[in-house]
A and B are shown apart, each in its own frame.
Chain A
């Protein structure tokens, strides 16, 4: 009978090592470890992960993002009319996939919940081998998924996220945002508002009670107060609120003559509808016409609010009616494929996919650190927003911002907003250490190995 090799110490040692191995997040185990970086594409294809809200209140916006991603994949693989590949100032993409690898994709459902979004991103990275994650329609989700991608060693190209924090206190080296932010909305809107409504105005803010609401209120207050406006009150409203009448009713009586609705999505549709019902648009206060402002507009929201948006100012990242060649090319190929013009969410997602693919092509590698290097300080044009810079210090895109107004006589169900001003990039640029973006550190890129 052979003697057993098991000793008490040996068992303990093996057990401890196995336990430690199991305790490691699975993300850092398996194939990912043995290669140069997480999910290095070795075959003839590369997989991208599109993490968008497919259910929940932003499902329609998510569906539009997904359409844009599918279009981007087609164009990257040389199908369709090529869209913005024709107008993009960088000509590194040739329609033969990315670095010769055919682009494939998997999708996840963020549900506009941080935990669900992290779970779907994790699954796409671990199970499907996604080398880049992109999408989303909320800042809470963007910040959560960005942090996960940083840990996992993949690139995160943010979708629609407007909070200052995404590239402020929660910025990460592996994360990049093309969409504009609350500060930029304030900086672009304030001069237009001062011009339209004068500098002697008293504002009343209703603010959605979560991260994006706070940064938007802070940004709009700072920039309008700098123009001479006074803020008479700012009230937080629960995110789940559907009837805003009890918040709207006291406004007319408060001494204010402007109502700023720091609301997005269904919140904005309902609060604006309520404000119009309570006669705020026809009302007079302090001897002036009462006015309403919606800092962040989207066409899908404007459609939900219907006639109530007429004449109301706001800001937006992009609009399909822009006359530049890039926008025209994108609207043409999106409109031909789907039968209606793309939303700003669709635009930013399409552009982010192209920017990622281009960065990989220029870097000659899918390694996240090579991609980060290629994107940092990258200047480009032809993607619909004029000359744009991906700032190295915080991974935020700097470009012109659109100030829009609800159209008085829309020609169609898509023709809801008119561009009032294209605010030049210089006016919305801020220093990296601006107080609204204080805290947090970019850190260094993580290739995951």
Chain B
């Protein structure tokens, strides 16, 4: 029983990342009808927003320490961050410690800007082209973005640790009456899950309760009619692209402390997120979220050694297996609408 609870918890944080990326993908697909293979790269760019903020906060000047030597025997040059000069040592250290949460403030405008530039600069030229062309151009864009990041940040993962207060883990099992050490769960993963829940709720509330959201929903249902009503739907859809980019970016920022960001992390999530979208139902926002969590949890279960012993290799194919079963029984996915991608 404790193992099952443990894997459900594990699936929640992975599912959160899938759900956030899939939510953005579905928003873009639902509004603009574009299959955006660069969406994983937006997740990666978000994570590198955290890296960038960390780098900015740790910008340093060198102070020579004559008492210590470096690897060549010369006097050691110690880096002192400017933040510590300005705010004092302890406040400066605390600011650096909180660089990941601070990166959220940086990532929101940056990611919206990247999203809007991407849509206006490249993707809008492909609206009327076949889906295959859209996939090729966005996939190409993803590779370009990935290589740019590798050029500036290198190929190795870069640690972006969580604030000191959120390191360590919670003995969840003790709460449920199990013995100590049975169900351990890192604090930051709980934070990630709650953060994802807030973002998802925020996006739904935005679409449901604002005029902007109402127009976007109407546009998703019937773009032509909304256009005929004199509403500039294109402008709103561009904004939605920016918002979807910000959602993926925020998912990336907060994911940094879970897995050190590297340039190809976007690709690692991209394919799975597409499976999530298809399983959830193309164009269905609740479907994307539900499928994200479902597949995250199933993936966790399939990684249990008891399951692998029973069916070797299941951990690598479970998601695709479930996708096949769901698409065979429900060809439109869990919550897919009629008519989407069926023309």
B residues within 8 A CB of A55?
150
A residues within 8 A CB of B72?
331-332, 335-336
B156 with A304: CB separation less than 8 A: yes
A306 with B159: CB separation less than 8 A: yes
| A412 to B76 alpha-carbon distance, docked (Å) | 9
CB contact list, B149-173 vs A, under 8 A: 150, 154-159, 161, 167-169
A residues within 8 A CB of B9?
249
With CB as the reference atom, state the residue of chain A lying closest to B179. A253
B304 with A335: CB separation less than 8 A: no
User: B224: CB under 8 A from chain A?
Assistant: no
B155 with A57: CB separation less than 8 A: yes
Stretch of B95-103, B105-113, B119-127, B182-190 on the interface side: B182-190
Q: Mark A237-281, 1 if CB is under 8 A from B, else 0.
A: 010101101110110110000000000001001100110011100
| A397 to B11 alpha-carbon distance, docked (Å) | 46
A250 with B304: CB separation less than 8 A: yes
User: A88: CB under 8 A from chain B?
Assistant: no
A residues within 8 A CB of B70?
412
Q: Mark A281-292, 1 if CB is under 8 A from B, else 0.
A: 011110000000
Which of A246, A266, A305, A411 is the one whose CB lies under 8 Å from B299? A246
User: A180: CB under 8 A from chain B?
Assistant: no
| A236 to B299 alpha-carbon distance, docked (Å) | 15
A56 with B155: CB separation less than 8 A: yes
With CB as the reference atom, state the residue of chain B lying closest to A247. B303
B258 with A243: CB separation less than 8 A: yes
B residues within 8 A CB of A285?
181
B10 with A246: CB separation less than 8 A: yes
How many A-B residue contacts, CB cutoff 8 Å? 121
A residues within 8 A CB of B175?
none
With CB as the reference atom, state the residue of chain B lying closest to A57. B155
Q: How many residues on the A side are at the interface (Cβ–Cβ under 8 A)?
A: 51
User: B209: CB under 8 A from chain A?
Assistant: no
Q: Mark B6-36, 1 if CB is under 8 A from A, else 0.
A: 1101110110000000000000000000000
The distance from the CB of B272 to the nearest CB of chain A, in whole angstroms, is 11
| A240 to B265 alpha-carbon distance, docked (Å) | 10
| A304 to B157 alpha-carbon distance, docked (Å) | 5
Q: State whether A242 and B259 are in contact (beta carbons under 8 Å apart), knowing that A250-B305, A253-B2 are contacts in the complex.
A: yes
Q: State whether A277 and B68 are in contact (beta carbons under 8 Å apart), knowing that A235-B308, A250-B6, A304-B158 are contacts in the complex.
A: no
B residues within 8 A CB of A411?
68, 76
Q: State whether A304 and B159 are in contact (beta carbons under 8 Å apart), knowing that A250-B305, A266-B262 are contacts in the complex.
A: yes
B residues within 8 A CB of A305?
159, 260
B residues within 8 A CB of A414?
71
A273 with B68: CB separation less than 8 A: no
With CB as the reference atom, state the residue of chain A lying closest to B159. A306
A residues within 8 A CB of B258?
243, 245, 274, 277
User: A320: CB under 8 A from chain B?
Assistant: yes
A320 with B71: CB separation less than 8 A: yes
| A277 to B170 alpha-carbon distance, docked (Å) | 10
B259 with A273: CB separation less than 8 A: yes
A residues within 8 A CB of B300?
245-246
User: B264: CB under 8 A from chain A?
Assistant: yes
User: A402: CB under 8 A from chain B?
Assistant: no
| A273 to B189 alpha-carbon distance, docked (Å) | 13
A residues within 8 A CB of B14?
243, 245-246
A residues within 8 A CB of B264?
57
The distance from the CB of B246 to the nearest CB of chain A, in whole angstroms, is 23
| A96 to B297 alpha-carbon distance, docked (Å) | 64
CB contact list, B62-81 vs A, under 8 A: 68, 70-72, 76
A279 with B268: CB separation less than 8 A: no
Which of A60, A249, A308, A341 is the one whose CB lies under 8 Å from B10? A249
Which of B168, B262, B315 is the one whose CB lies under 8 Å from A279? B168
The distance from the CB of A158 to the nearest CB of chain B, in whole angstroms, is 21
| A265 to B145 alpha-carbon distance, docked (Å) | 22
A238 with B315: CB separation less than 8 A: yes
User: A29: CB under 8 A from chain B?
Assistant: no
The distance from the CB of B32 to the nearest CB of chain A, in whole angstroms, is 29
Q: Mark A54-79, 1 if CB is under 8 A from B, else 0.
A: 01111110000000000000000000
User: A300: CB under 8 A from chain B?
Assistant: yes
B residues within 8 A CB of A34?
none
The distance from the CB of A97 to the nearest CB of chain B, in whole angstroms, is 28
User: A307: CB under 8 A from chain B?
Assistant: yes
| A55 to B304 alpha-carbon distance, docked (Å) | 33
With CB as the reference atom, state the residue of chain A lying closest to B265. A242
B71 with A331: CB separation less than 8 A: yes
Q: State whether A249 and B155 are in contact (beta carbons under 8 Å apart), knowing that A279-B168, A283-B181 are contacts in the complex.
A: no
B residues within 8 A CB of A26?
none
> Most chain-B Cβ atoms within 10 A of its Cβ — which of A249, A270, A306, A336?
A249
CB contact list, B177-229 vs A, under 8 A: 181-182, 184-186, 188-189
The distance from the CB of B101 to the nearest CB of chain A, in whole angstroms, is 17
The distance from the CB of A253 to the nearest CB of chain B, in whole angstroms, is 6
B181 with A252: CB separation less than 8 A: yes
User: B91: CB under 8 A from chain A?
Assistant: no
A252 with B268: CB separation less than 8 A: no
A300 with B156: CB separation less than 8 A: yes
B71 with A277: CB separation less than 8 A: no
The distance from the CB of A310 to the nearest CB of chain B, in whole angstroms, is 13
The distance from the CB of A112 to the nearest CB of chain B, in whole angstroms, is 10
A249 with B169: CB separation less than 8 A: no
User: A303: CB under 8 A from chain B?
Assistant: yes
With CB as the reference atom, state the residue of chain A lying closest to B7. A246
| A53 to B238 alpha-carbon distance, docked (Å) | 39
A249 with B157: CB separation less than 8 A: no
A residues within 8 A CB of B154?
59-60
B189 with A238: CB separation less than 8 A: no
| A308 to B168 alpha-carbon distance, docked (Å) | 12
With CB as the reference atom, state the residue of chain A lying closest to B301. A246
The distance from the CB of A277 to the nearest CB of chain B, in whole angstroms, is 4
| A277 to B161 alpha-carbon distance, docked (Å) | 10
Since A60-B154, A252-B181, A304-B159 are in contact, a sample of 11 more A-B pairs with Cβ atoms closer than 8 Å, ordered by chain A residue number, is A57-B264, A235-B308, A238-B316, A245-B14, A247-B303, A249-B6, A253-B2, A269-B156, A269-B260, A270-B157, A411-B76
Q: Which residues of A contact B (CB under 8 A)?
A: 55-60, 233, 235-236, 238, 240, 242-243, 245-247, 249-250, 252-253, 266, 269-270, 273-274, 277-279, 282-285, 300, 303-308, 320-321, 331-332, 335-336, 340-341, 411-412, 414-415
16 A-B Cβ contacts within 8 A? A55-B150, A57-B155, A57-B262, A57-B264, A60-B154, A60-B155, A243-B258, A246-B10, A246-B14, A269-B156, A270-B260, A277-B189, A279-B184, A300-B156, A304-B158, A412-B71
